[in-house]
Amino acid sequence: MRMRKLGRTGIDVSAYCLGTMVFGKMGNPDHDDCVRMIHRALDAGVNFVDTADVYGYSET
């Protein structure tokens, strides 16, 4: 996995990011399937995960 520096922090992050918008009610509601996707990304060397709070489902 290619890595890149995160700004001036010195932290190396993967060049690819796992976006979690596809998890849950608005995407894939199958918990076990989502866990498999996370593990697959981790096994591939991904350490950059987008978990923006706007991805949460709200009925309000």
Q: Active-site residue among 9, 55, 57, 58? A: 55
57 is catalytic: no
Per-residue pLDDT of the chain (60 residues; tens, 9 = 90+): 999 999 999 999 999 999 988 888 878 999 999 999 999 999 999 999 998 777 665 665
Contact status, residue 44 vs residue 36, Cβ threshold 8 Å? no
pTM: 0.76
**Is residue 33 within a helix (H) or strand (E), and if so which, with residue range?**
helix 31-43
pLDDT digits (tens, 9 = 90+) for 38-47: 999 999 999 9
Answer whether 34's CB lies under 8 Å from 42's CB. no
